[in-house]
Amino acid sequence: MIEIKEVKTRKQIKQFLDFPNNLYKGNPYYIPPLYGNEKKLFGNHHDYNDQADSVFYLAYRGKEVVGRISGILQKASNEKWKQQRVRFTRFDCIDDQQVASALFRAVENWAKVLGMAEVVGPLNYSDMEREGLLVEGFDQLNTFEEQYNFPYYEKLIKNCGYEKEVEWVEYRLTAPDPEYMEKMKRVTDKAMQRGGFRFGEAKNTKDFLKKYADDFFRIIDETYGPIYGTVPFTEKMKKSIMSDFSLIINLRYVAVILDKNGKPACFGLCFPGFGKALQKSGGKLTLPTIFKILRAVKKPDSIDLALIGVLPEYRNSGISHALFYKMALLLTEGTAKYAETNLMLTYNYNILNQWKNFNPILHKRRRTYAKNIACEAENPQNYETAFPNLEAELEKESAAAED
């Protein structure tokens, strides 16, 4: 029998946090999130408390935890996009349809109590965090910024009545050939000179954040604001992101271009690939793990391409070429053998076309899935009263899925 419990006690919080690490133990492609950051989700001072409500569920078979899921009412997103949605996230589960169905029923009923019409995911509190279900690339190492999942997750989610909404692709890139590098340099020099642009400088990471953090978020908002799933930044979000960045930013992998008035016009942000350093510790920042991260930051084997932002008034100025050229130099002059693009929407052709000369290999694909729940039972008061014959219903769903 499957039992769903809302996470409330310290023991349940620990079970929720530990479950994916146990499920993927020994998996060479899984990179855990920072354990401390995940734990903050259950605190009163979580970064998104002022714009989102959350619920966390665990699935038990007897005393054994066999799955987990979280629901997010992202009020800022619903207001921005004029939607009535709950997001699901942190879905992890054994390969069992009854378990998955029970978990999704719990989130769906929570959404109905809140008067919502749809459930969609995997989406996080914002697009600055892990999102999307991996549907291709299960034999590829995940980056720290993204989540790994087993292939059977898609089957479990679709059998719960969810349909694909959007799709992202990820590429592995290597350095362009020398001839193209020369071309990039000429275009970069010409654009910089013509527009009176120059690269911003900083003494160290602290100095960089002090000088450019505010403009960094302003440019992100203007660049990514119209993109699927984005939400406006709050001051708490900014402070938390900067705190995380301070550990992993290497100024060699950051570029800020200033206009003729000395104001930031665009930026490019990469992270040294340090995901492997977190595997053995389960995302906990133990002393050995911190040393591994610092080594990876100093001499990375790979680079994760995080964000590129250009203010609208400069998008046709050619300065974006300067960012791509600097990124290309990281692959020709540094220790990194390749770069990972992370998520790019399949219809974002402007970005996709930028990588055609970087020997791109499409090696991962992710999706979100949505379900309309407005047509189902109206506003059930709780999980148990809405589905008194849960076990029988789950058995029917499981049998139908197998057929």
Residue pLDDT, tens place only, 3-31: 999 999 999 999 999 999 999 999 999 99
pLDDT higher than 80, residue 379: no
Query: Which among 76, 107, 93, 90 is positioned nearest to 373, based on CA atoms?
Result: 107
pLDDT higher than 60, residue 401: no
Q: What is the mean pLDDT of residues 357-383?
A: 78
Angle, helices 205-224/235-248, rounded to nearest 10 degrees: 130
Q: Hey, what are 102's tokens?
A: 């029970």
C-alpha dist (Å) from residue 146 to 16, 160, 389: 19, 24, 37
Q: What is the mean pLDDT of residues 317-330?
A: 87
C-alpha dist (Å) from residue 177 to 183, 186, 268, 303, 331: 10, 15, 22, 18, 11
For residue 48, give the amino acid letter: Y
Query: Measured in Å, how far apart are the chain's first and last C-alpha atoms?
Result: 21
pLDDT higher than 70, residue 272: yes
Q: What is the mean pLDDT of residues 142-147?
A: 92
pLDDT higher than 70, residue 143: yes
Range of lowest pLDDT (73-87, 118-132, 229-243, 316-330): 229-243
Residues 6+ apart with CB under 8 A from 334: 252, 300, 303
pLDDT at 253: 84
Q: Hey, what are 153's tokens?
A: 């997750």
- Which of 12-26, 193-207, 237-251, 283-297 tops mean pLDDT? 12-26
Q: What are phi and psi of 201, to 5 degrees?
A: -120, 160
Q: How confident is the model at residue 383 (pLDDT cuts 50, 70, 90)?
A: very low
pLDDT higher than 50, residue 271: yes
Q: What is the mean pLDDT of residues 236-252?
A: 74
Q: How confident is the model at residue 353 (pLDDT cuts 50, 70, 90)?
A: confident
Range of lowest pLDDT (49-58, 80-89, 229-238, 321-330): 229-238
The angle at the Cα of 210, spanning 231 to 326, to the nearest 5 degrees, equals 80
Q: What is the mean pLDDT of residues 108-117?
A: 96
pLDDT higher than 50, residue 390: no
pLDDT at 392: 44
